[in-house]
Chains A and B, each alone.
Chain A
Amino acid sequence: GAGVSQSPSNKVTEKGKDVELRCDPISGHTALYWYRQSLGQGLEFLIYFQGNSAPDKSGLPSDRFSAERTGGSVSTLTIQRTQQEDSAVYLCASSQDRYGPQHFGDGTRLSIL
């Protein structure tokens, strides 16, 4: 398909484990965003990539969170030593450039036991 693809769709893990979430943006989209959405809440900005660089990491909640993007395409969001408050839906979005509308993936629902 031509949309933003995220994997896994669901992830259940024990507290203290590391998790890696993947986002495959729409081909040709240079801008990529990660958001976090807790149940019934709005979208919390985490990080923005333009190409492979991340000029804005201001939204990452702690140093346990990191993200990278390679080849101007796929991005991974890594959470180390997960805690229960990390439970949420993690959404990835891409846009053709930094001005345009964002196209979202279906998200990864992360549950920390």
Chain B
Amino acid sequence: GQQVMQIPQYQHVQEGEDFTTYCNSSTTLSNIQWYKQRPGGHPVFLIQLVKSGEVKKQKRLTFQFGEAKKNSSLHITATQTTDVGTYFCASRGLSNDYKLSFGAGTTVTVRA
């Protein structure tokens, strides 16, 4: 199946600071989705990127899909305590449009 690697695995952030988490693949992806899972909760869909070089923003969150469609990033500005959780990227390969392969996630903690 499609493999995506997420880095870092853990991100400990001072409240108010910015950080970025990355999702990388060795093969071309048809699209990529991002999900957030709060502690004790279930994954919640955030966004889907489809086009090469696509950039989408949701308030303080900026999502980007690489030009080669092999990587993606999530950048959070001015981190708040509400940003705590695990962020997963999930991808579909070019030949398989139904199966999402999830990365291992980046777990974010915030110190006030």
Residues of chain A at the chain B interface (Cβ within 8 Å): 31, 33, 35, 40-43, 45, 48, 50, 55-56, 58, 91, 93, 98-99, 101-107
Contact = CB atoms under 8 A, between A and B. Distances in A.
A9 to B, nearest CB: 11
DSSP majority for the B interface?
loop
Contacts of B102: 35, 42-43, 45
A43 B104 CA distance: 7
Interface of B: 1, 33, 41-45, 48, 88, 90, 97-105, 107
Nearest to B50: A99
Contacts of A102: 33, 43, 45, 100
Given A91-B42, A102-B45, A42 B100 contact: no
A91 B37 CA distance: 12
A48 B96 CA distance: 12
Contacts of A98: 97-98
Contact of B105 (A42, A50, A91): A42
Contacts of A40: 107
B88 to A, nearest CB: 7
A58 B101 CA distance: 13
Nearest to B43: A104
Most chain B C-beta atoms within 10 Å of own C-beta, residue among A91, A102, A103: A102
7 contacts: A31-B98, A48-B98, A99-B97, A103-B45, A104-B44, A106-B41, A107-B42
Given A101-B33, A101-B45, A41 B104 contact: yes
Most chain B C-beta atoms within 10 Å of own C-beta, residue among A50, A91, A104: A104
A42 B103 contact: yes
B42 A43 contact: no
A71 to B, nearest CB: 20
A43 B45 contact: no
A106 B40 CA distance: 9
Contact of A42 (B48, B97, B99, B104): B104
Given A42-B102, A42-B104, A48-B99, A101 B42 contact: no
Nearest to B46: A101
A35 B37 CA distance: 14
